[in-house]
Chains A and B, each alone.
Chain A
Amino acid sequence: MSLIATLSRLEAVRTGRAQPAATVRHRHLSERPLVLVPLITAGEAGAPLGALVGTDRDAPRLLVVPQPRDRDLRFTFLAELADLVLPYVDAYGDVVEAAERSETDPETGKRVKVEVDLCANAPQLIVPSRTGIDFVRLLGRAMRFRRTAEQDPEAPHPAPPRVPLLGRWLTHFGERARVPGSSLLLALTDLLARHWATGQSSVEDQHLGALLAWIDPPEGESGDAAARRAELARDGDGQLLCPPAGPATDPAFDNKLLAPAIERYDRARAALAAAEDGLEADDRFGDLTAAEREIRALVESRTRPTWDAVWRGLDLLRELPEGAHATDRWTRDRWSFTGHRDRIIAGEPPQPRRDDAVTAANKLATREREQARLDAQEALDDPLVMAGRRLAGEAFAGEVTEVVMAYSEGKRPSPRPLVTVRTDDRPHLGERTKVYRSLGGKPQAAEFVGYDGPEGGDHGNLVVLRIVDKMGRGKEPEEGSVPQKGDPVCFTLFEHDQRGGAKLPDPEETPWTHGGPPGEPDAVPLPEQPDPPTEEDTL
């Protein structure tokens, strides 16, 4: 953590209120996000207990699995989830705009521009916490290999239609969430913690209720007290007033409320199965419905506070202006979404259980590149982030004190003006270090020439730079392309645009040592098999 972030946390302790950790919003927020507040059953690998889902904050849809160990009830839940999520996702796949993409021409092997569709917007999934993202991934994994009755009439427990498709989408969302700066699937706690520094540790920031309490404490209460209440306060029944944001539930809730309710449900179901005539069955069906309604009410009581908290958090985030580069990153998310849409339309198989070496290397390269891009863009968008980089010696800001025209040597001399900047910052500048500033949204490069006067003087450093590009083709630099005396400037030692490293070869060109093509030209990798069903499988 940088010293600036540390100071912000300490200020938060002093004032009893979270302090800004960003002055703009660094993630794109959709106009119409889909919020998902899931709950799981303790101890079962991804057995859902219920969820609140929807795009309308006033009308969430409640889905409940009254007996999580029952395979059919879980399937019903997943089918309902698919019916809610897929129409939302599909709606974004239908609206496209034309865009250009460079592809390798298969005949000539040259890079050529091709016109392709780009989805005009993309869906956005919001879950309360980071563990919610893990759960989305887990659901994706559990569903994408399932076979529907249509695909495989012999399947012992056919999945409802569209469930495997939802699994593929959730897998895609989960994978995309690993890319730094992406916004297709976001955890609200991460989002809030990125923009505010609270007076508690980052471990405690994982608690949505406590985090919100610091950012927006109730009138007249300090964030500290409100956060503690959110974490610990229990009602007379021993239940947390602010239930955990999930997907894990509070053990006290499981043991005291949920377990007895599930037991009643099981009993009612057994009684219904044992009913001997229609009249009796009618009666017992009523009991079963009542038992189910009770579980639904319990699940809603634990998810609704989190649902409301998520929307409140989104409101707080919307008050911040969106960072200039967040749109650029959102466009990348749209490409990612469009790409997956195309793969599904093309009938490609679901994502494999394990990536092959080429895919894995590509993914890692993407994440590294995007991390560097994110770091640079956040600094350019946000003076508070830039302040951290300046403190670290990776950027400097100051005022231009002198501009001397100079020219390059050579047949056609080009302008190479020398600019002196007075700064209080202490950048780590070595001989001919390249530095960059933003000029109309494009990076302009300069070279460090030397210090004018002693380094680290009382009145700051005088840094002499030689501007080397973006001044046009003529002998004289274009208007406005060279800073003038008195201009405030900010140069960075890091590049603004990320040029990807050397491109990885196509799969066909990759040597076998690196997971390249199999020896047999016709060998096709076996399609992934569904998980074999077992007697007691849980999902």
Chain B
Amino acid sequence: MPPPRTPGTALGPRLAELRGPEVQPKALDARALAALAANPGCRRRALLDGAGVNKTALASALGSPSAFGMSQFAFMRGNAFEARVKADGGAELLRLVHEKLDPSAEPPTEAATPDLAAIGPQGRAARTALALREASASGGWALLDHPMLVLDVAGSPAFLEPDAVVVHPDGSWTVVEIKSFPMLDGAADPAKVGAAARQSAVYVLALEEVASRLETPAEVRHRVLLVCPKDFTNLPTAAAVDVRKQRAVTRRQLARLTRVEEIADALPEGTCFAPDLPREQLTAAVEALPAAYAPECLAACELAFHCRGRSREEGAVTSLGRSLRAELGGLTTAEDVLAAAHGMAGDPEDPTVAALRRAADLRAEALSAAAARAEGARCH
């Protein structure tokens, strides 16, 4: 019987092997984690992310490059805005935290801004944990600029870097998320706020891990501060966003992820995802990992176009939308559904098949009625 694998010893080299020789692991960020949590059934994504494979490079090597990219205008604007929010030792940021989240505390006239520089992500994470502990004990305000947090994802560590974490005088912690989309008359684009909330929830989870390891556990506030430009200006404004729901969803989904080592163990010997391998070999390697493609992946995963192509080739109905799959019961391919609908296959007693036939008949009747009417209109 082989000895059980323990993370950090056997898994690390195993994942490095999957990544390919001399390929640096790509860090998982909170956005990717939130996306992963949104599709917990996807083993392909879980393993590739867990192993730190650069999916952008992999997608290009597979011949279905991802369409993600960032305009330098958006990038510049985002950076300029964040710098502005954090200027003067974060005075404006702390004022907003005080005003929106903790108005009964003393005003943050002075705040500690601990230096978090260290070597490597592990070193930075340790430094952050230390700074958080000290700041909590000090009983004053503290602003941690780009701290490093670590979260265990499917058995491998993911390093996360929130925009800022603020320590309140009562020792509690708040995640701050700075975004450059505008808050117009006090309201921002709900889709973008939702994405920011999911991302922040990941940070809250990671912070909770740090907090639980302290001798006197600190409270991680479940309301995060979302800072955005006000109206059409560059001035910051902020709103508290309750992320309890997102936190619960993400926690549950992360717990559901199949452990990366289990997925890795199921792969054939010698599987490797190094982007410089020949395309056939890479395709076979990726195919060995079961995917759960849905159109939502297009907005969240670099491999989406590759998976979509496969899903369409197989005629999977999910490629048209998850809701479709839900109403078609056991029929999973377009061919099966159409055969059942046109009476060429399927059990007529099955309520799904019966409903499909009824739908197909009604559709045909309506279309022929319309065609007859159009014909009639042409004759007159």
Question: Do chains A and B stick together as partners?
Answer: yes
A384 to B231, CA, bound (A): 45
The reply on B107 being an interface residue by CB < 8 A is: no
Contact with B along A505-539 (1 / 0, CB 8 A): 00000000000000000000000000110111111
Pair A204/B67 contact, Cβ less than 8 Å: no
A232's contact among B67, B235, B312, by CB below 8 Å, is which?
B67
B234's contact among A199, A255, A354, A534, by CB below 8 Å, is which?
A534
Pair B366/A45 contact, Cβ less than 8 Å: no
Q: Please indicate the chain B residues that have their CB under 8 angstroms from the CB of A384 in the complex.
A: 363, 366-367, 370
Pair B337/A387 contact, Cβ less than 8 Å: no
- Between A1, A3, A259, A391, the greatest number of chain B beta carbons within 10 A of the residue's beta carbon is seen for A3
Select the stretch in B34-42, B137-145, B177-185, B282-290 that faces chain A: B177-185
Q: Please indicate the chain B residues that have their CB under 8 angstroms from the CB of A138 in the complex.
A: 184
B-side interface size class: 35 or more
Pair A9/B324 contact, Cβ less than 8 Å: yes
A203's contact among B73, B295, B312, by CB below 8 Å, is which?
B295
Pair B363/A4 contact, Cβ less than 8 Å: yes
A202's contact among B65, B78, B321, B360, by CB below 8 Å, is which?
B321
A1 to B320, CA, bound (A): 11
Given known pairs A7-B356, A354-B185, the reply for A42 and B71 (CB within 8 Å) is yes
Interface size on A, residues (CB 8 A): 59
Pair B233/A43 contact, Cβ less than 8 Å: no
Q: Please indicate the chain B residues that have their CB under 8 angstroms from the CB of A236 in the complex.
A: none
Pair B369/A383 contact, Cβ less than 8 Å: yes
A14 to B360, CA, bound (A): 15
Given known pairs A4-B363, A204-B295, A390-B362, the reply for A531 and B356 (CB within 8 Å) is no
Tally of contacts, chain A with chain B, CB under 8 A: 155
Chain B nearest Cβ from A316, distance in angstroms: 15
Main secondary structure of the interface of B (DSSP, over half): helix
Chain A nearest Cβ from B79, distance in angstroms: 10
A384 to B358, CA, bound (A): 13
Pair B184/A42 contact, Cβ less than 8 Å: no
Pair B315/A13 contact, Cβ less than 8 Å: yes
The reply on A254 being an interface residue by CB < 8 A is: yes
Q: Please indicate the chain A residues that have their CB under 8 angstroms from the CB of B1 in the complex.
A: none
Contact with B along A241-252 (1 / 0, CB 8 A): 000000001111
The reply on A201 being an interface residue by CB < 8 A is: yes
The reply on B74 being an interface residue by CB < 8 A is: yes
Q: Please indicate the chain A residues that have their CB under 8 angstroms from the CB of B338 in the complex.
A: 7, 10-11, 14
Residue of B nearest to A354 (CB): B185
The 4 closest A-B pairs by CB, nearest first: A43-B74, A23-B370, A42-B71, A251-B69
Residues of chain B touching chain A, judged by Cβ–Cβ distance below 8 Å, are 65, 67, 69-78, 180-182, 184-186, 229, 231-235, 295-296, 298-299, 305, 312, 315, 317, 319-321, 323-324, 327-328, 334, 337-338, 341, 355-356, 358-360, 362-363, 365-367, 369-370, 373-374, 377
4 further A-B pairs in the complex, CB-CB below 8 A; given A45-B229, A199-B320, A203-B299 = A202-B321, A251-B70, A321-B374, A387-B363
